Amino acid sequence: MTSVAEDAPAAKSAGREVAETLKTVAGGLAIALVLRVLLFEPFTIPSASMEPGLLTGDYVVTSKWDYGWSRHSIPLSPPLWRGRILFHSPQRGDVVVFKLPRDEAITYVKRIIGLPGDRVQVKGGTVFVNDRPIVRTPAGQADDPDQPGLVVRQERETRADGHPYITFDEGAGHDGDDTGVYVVPADHYFMMGDNRDNSLDSRWPKAMGVGYVPAENIIGKARFVMLSWREGASILKPWTWGKLRPSRFFRGVD
């Protein structure tokens, strides 16, 4: 029969083990939080607006240091300060993740088309920045991955750094193919999706679309697709792995 005196040391030992486990877990969570705030954060692509570069179901890693940090770099966007710390201006053509101005609980990913002070206009599907067109080169046709049976035109455009990317065009006569002139305010950016006829972006005002995006709302730069899966798949459910898209794993974002 075990005595109460003998049980006491065992209870203290078990208590110390629990305390050490909790410290280890807390330390790991703290490190993960710091890495997420300062370096990287993953996001799932929920829509087809950035096709063909990003597909619905892509799990994208975003880097935080490119543009400095704002309160949106921290989970839940606590109101700790305004503006950005160690701010570096994004470049035209960057693909960025940002908080939607009209609802900061929602996260979007788009391509930066207009910088502060730029004049942006779309005419016949061609984007003009400061009266100069973003040159489009036909790149053949493709099936829209998100809409079976829909064939779209592929157009090759080029970022400010000379790197090319592909956009989708469903043809003439779509909303957003012809617009007025947008003058991007100071400390704001003009965003567009690469799937030009299937993207709610800065062509529509803040009340119904995206509008101009404050610099503070930018979370980071989309770097690469870590994982990708079709609807219904999960890395935690082996029986759904047939819906994974391994060909997209660790693919860079143009």
Q: Which residues are catalytic?
A: 49, 110
What number of CA atoms fall less than 13 Å from residue 27's CA on the CB side?
Answer: 6
CA dist., res. 159 & res. 36, Å (int): 28
Q: Side-chain half-sphere of 212: how many Cα atoms within 13 Å?
A: 17
Q: What's the Rg (C-alpha) of the chain?
A: 23
Q: 151 forms bridges with which residues in the sheet?
A: 143
Helix (H, G, I), strand (E, B) or coil at 4: helix
Residue 37: phi and psi, rounded to 5, are: -75, -45
Length of the chain: 254
